[in-house]
Structure 1
C-alpha cells in the first residue's frame, strides 16, 4: 500500500534545470506541518538517499523535499568549475528558488555531509524561516581526517568498477562530480574554510548527528554544531552515512527531536 504521494518535478534555475522529488504523506494534517528540505552530500543525489526520505515523511507526517544540485544526478550539467563559495551560495541562491517552486514558507533544513554544511548556511541565512536544523555527518572546518578520507576515496575511484557504480547516478557528469568534491576539498585555496560565521547566526534548535566511526570527520564537528544551540547524537559503530547504516535509529531520533519542538497542529505560513 502506498503511504506517500511521491512527485518528481524540474525546477528552472536560470538557464538550467534541477531535478526534484517530494514525498507527501497521506496524513490529514501533513499540509499544516513544516516540511523538511533535504540537502545531499558531495557525491549524492535524490536516488542515493534511498528509502530515507519516504520513511522520514511517513514517520514525521511531514512533506519531504529533495533535489539534485546542479551538476549532480538528473539535474543539468554544471556550466563550469565549482566555486569555493558553493556552500554558502546554495543556501543563498538555490534554496529560496526551491521553496518558491514548492510553495514552502517555513522549513526544516536537514543535510548530509556537505549538505549538512549547506543546511547550516541555510539556517543562518534564513533565520525567520528555518524552524529547525538537522545535520548528518556534517563538517565545520577542514581537518586532516577529512582530507585523509578524501585521498583514500580518490585512490579507490581509480578502480573502474567504483567509477561505474557512481556513474549509475550521475552519468557522464561523473568526472565533474568527483572533481567538484576531491579537487575542491583538497585545494589549498579551500584550506581555511570554516562554518564559524554561519554557526554564530543559527537561531533555531539543532540536532547534530554523527557516526562514531565517521571516516571524514571527528566528533569535534557535531559538538561544535550543537554547542549552545541544541543536542548531539553520536551513533556507536556507525560511519559516514547514518541514513543508510542506521536508518531506523536516525529517523526515530529526528521524529523525537521535532516532536518536542513543533506542535502537531502547527500551521505552515504561506510566505517567507
Structure 2
C-alpha cells in the first residue's frame, strides 16, 4: 500500500486511511480509531502532531459508513463495536503492514481498541491509549445521545457532519440508532479489561456528558496490567480538542515510556 493515504479493501468494503511520519517498518505505529461520529478528517491535525512529537508513525482510518469510506450495512448490529474489533481491525493492521503499534481510540474508537486488546492475541499491540472510553451504558450518556437528534434534524449538526462524511445520514443514524435502541441499555463489555496484558493510558474529562468517571473506575478495579490515568477537570468528551496540550503531552510521555521499556536491556544472570 502507499504509505501516505488512500483506501484499503477489507472484506469487500473500501476504507479510507491516512498516514503520517514513519512507515511501519521504520518505527512503531500509532493506530487511531475515531469516535462514533468521527473520521480521518475529524481528527484534524492531531495525527500529524503526534507523529512529530512521538517519533511514531501514525495510521488513521475511517470505519465503514464514515468519512470517505464505503457504505455500512444499516441498521448497525448492537454489537457493532465488537464486530469492528474482531473482524476489521486485525485485517486492516495486516494490510497496512503494521509490525509494532499502540492503539489510540476516542469514545467508540477507544472501546473498539479495548475490545481488540482483550479479545485478539496480537503481539504487535504494545499499548493502549483510551480517550473517553465506554464499557457500559450510563443513563446520562444515553440521554445526551438521544438529545442530539433535535440538533441533527432541526439544527446545524447535519451540516457540520457533512464536512467530514460523504454519507452524513449513515454516520449519524448508524451511531444514534444503536445507542438509543431499548435493548442497548444492557450493553456491557467491561470483561474485556480482564484480559489486557499491556500498558494502558486512560484519558477522561470530568465534564463529559457521554460518560463519567465510572468508566475509568471500572478499568482501575479490573486491570492486571500497568495503568496510567489523565483526568482533566472541566473538560468534556473530546480532551484532545478541549485540552489539547495536556492530552498530547500525556500521550507523548506514555509512548516515550513504552519505547524505553521496549529498548531496555535485560540482564540474564
Q: TM-score, normalised to structure 2's length?
A: 0.90
Q: CA deviation at 1:60?
A: 0.5
* Alignment partner, residue 270 of structure 1: none
Residue aligned with 1:84, SS: coil
Residue aligned with 1:194, SS: coil
Q: Is the 8 A contact 1:49 1:243 kept in 2?
A: no
For the residues of structure 2 that align with 1:85 and 1:262, how far apart are their CA atoms?
A: 34
* Alignment partner, residue 12 of structure 1: 9
* Alignment partner, residue 48 of structure 2: 54
Q: CA deviation at 1:116?
A: 0.5
Q: Deviations over 1:156-184 (max 9, x none)?
A: 2122422111112113x211211111110
Residue from 208, 213, 217 that aligns with 2:207: 213
* Alignment partner, residue 102 of structure 2: 108
Q: Is the 8 A contact 1:57 1:64 kept in 2?
A: yes
For the residues of structure 2 that align with 1:178 and 1:81, how far apart are their CA atoms?
A: 11
Alignment of 1:33-112 (within 5 A): 33-112=27-106
For the residues of structure 1 that align with 2:73 and 2:182, how far apart are their CA atoms?
A: 23
Q: Deviations over 1:191-214 (max 9, x none)?
A: 211122211111111111001111
Q: Is the 8 A contact 1:35 1:65 kept in 2?
A: yes
Moved more, 225-234 or 11-20: 225-234
* Alignment partner, residue 128 of structure 2: 133
Q: CA deviation at 1:63?
A: 0.5
Q: CA deviation at 1:65?
A: 0.5
For the residues of structure 2 that align with 1:121 and 1:194, how far apart are their CA atoms?
A: 11
* Alignment partner, residue 255 of structure 2: 258
RMSD, matched Cα:
2.1
State the aligned residue count. 259
Residue from 129, 133, 138 that aligns with 1:143: 138
Q: Deviations over 1:109-152 (max 9, x none)?
A: 11000111001011112343321011001111011111111122
**Residues 23/51 of structure 1: CA separation in 2 closer, same or farther (3 Å cut):** same
Q: Is the 8 A contact 1:10 1:20 kept in 2?
A: yes
Residue from 245, 249, 264 that aligns with 1:248: 245
Q: CA deviation at 1:231?
A: 1.9
Residue from 164, 187, 195 that aligns with 1:193: 187
Residue aligned with 2:186, SS: coil
* Alignment partner, residue 170 of structure 2: 176
Q: TM-score, normalised to structure 1's length?
A: 0.89
Higher relative contact order (CA 8 A, sep 6+): 1
* Alignment partner, residue 269 of structure 1: none
For the residues of structure 2 that align with 1:237 and 1:25, how far apart are their CA atoms?
A: 35
Residue from 236, 241, 257 that aligns with 1:239: 236
**Residues 258/156 of structure 1: CA separation in 2 closer, same or farther (3 Å cut):** same
For the residues of structure 1 that align with 2:61 and 2:6, how far apart are their CA atoms?
A: 9
